[in-house]
Structure 1
Amino acid sequence: MVQIPARVLTIAGSDSGGGAGIQADLKTMLALGVHGMSVVAAVTAQNSLGVQGYWELPAEAVAAQFRSVVDDIGVQAVKTGMLASPVLVETVAGLLAPLRAPVVVDPVSVSKHGDPLLAEEALDAVRTKLLPTATVVTPNLFEVRQLTGVEVRGPQDMRAAAEAVLAYGPSWVLVKGGHLEGEAADLLFDGTREHWFRSERYDNRHTHGTGCTLASAIASHLALGRDVPRAVAAAKDYVTGAIRQGFPLGAGIGPVDHGWRFRG
């Protein structure tokens, strides 16, 4: 008898360069043994040098994609990424609120090159509508500052940052410390339990797609039945390997290697 794999849905933007966004999400899901499905919220013109433009889809198209997948196929976990505008953030939050599956929110606001991917006026909707739906939210330090005003200058500030994000209602917060000096240390916190995940920092500039990849890996492991700390630990291990094997494409920043485990 054929076994049906766990099903994970990504709601995010398309990356024409293939390194981040929905493309990275689906590659990650395949690598981790789950069936990936997608709701395209925005389309980007993007390459190794940056984002040349993006176009959000109508809210009704996003909702229709979601209902089409969830009502027929079902999901064991959902990951959100680039949502671009207040109306899309509010639409997706409304769709996720009654869902019983775990939700991983990557609060994407800028690209690896510093290009904006979220309208400034959408931040309040992220705080008040989207974050309360999250099982896990995965902000980097720039996103923490945008959402809460908390400045993280070192690992000693990450607990306060996590508490500030938790105040908006997610169950867990993973504050990513990848932009700090030294080892790559991330803090997972639910208001009581504190888990640190540390890994070696690799001298590799080809790190496009790390945030999308990590969030998708967490969602995949949650869909496979792991609890949040174990899902984050497994996802951190996967993305660390992908960063180590990141490769050059084009004239700018190349992607992480989503298939690194297949190459030995």
Structure 2
Amino acid sequence: MQAQIAPFYDPVTGTISYVVYDQCGGHAALIDPVLDYDPKSGRTSTANADKLIDYVLTHDLSVVWILETHAHADHLSAAAWLKARLGGKIAIGEHINQVQGVFKRLFHLEESFATDGSQFDHLFRDGETFRIGELTATALFVPGHTPADMAYQIGDAVFVGDTLFMPDVGSARCDFPGGDAATLYQSAQRILSLPDETRLFLCHDYPPEGRKPVWETTVGAQKAANIHLHAGTTEQDFIAMRTARDKTLGMPTLILPAIQINIRAGELPPADDNGVRYLRIPLNAL
């Protein structure tokens, strides 16, 4: 059985979320869902998540998984909000504990914040298989962008997170804490070693001027034309390019709020004694 895949593009953050399911009336996984956030007012909203809910209800689906490819720096996760309404287990790679440890210190989070991944319902090991109804899926450890990135292979489709972008955009940055260009190169090669016809579904697209957003490509197309990782690109050349490019990049607009929410599996921080929840802004720390 081939997976049914419904993409949902958020133009504000360039994120693509997915509903992946076996059949109408069957079982589904939600991948990288977006919680809307207005940095000017500090308000959250659920327009993007509502679209996923509408699709799930319209197709009579039972959500069994809410999958995160990593702790995103460019959008807030709607995983917890969706779980409360649709059910399912929130899952991420087992190395999320490394990311939590770094950012607990950076944000000086509450002492009770655990850095063992226990905020998530399940932590995937590399190569672990799981079921989405009639579909069999495999979790693939693909670090480099962060030390905890996972991709999810479901039949002939792989949801690659931020490991690869469209061929004309290239690859993800590696200068976040725990990121590493050499590691990303090896992770990309793992994906590119799959059959050329393997479909790759991206978490983001940042299209060059004149191109509309696209989120599906293939291994063969990446090997032929990826501007950073086409066939023949050496590890040394990639590291030099990625390191030089990363030095020119500013921080993502939503990195400070996003990380604080996403390492909590999409839960908002605990309320202070006045009933208000707060995010922390570390000054001169990044």
- Classify the TM-score, shorter chain: 0.3 to 0.5
Highest Rg: 1 or 2? 2
Greater helix proportion: 1
Q: TM-score, normalised by structure 1?
A: 0.35
> TM (normalized to structure 2)?
0.33
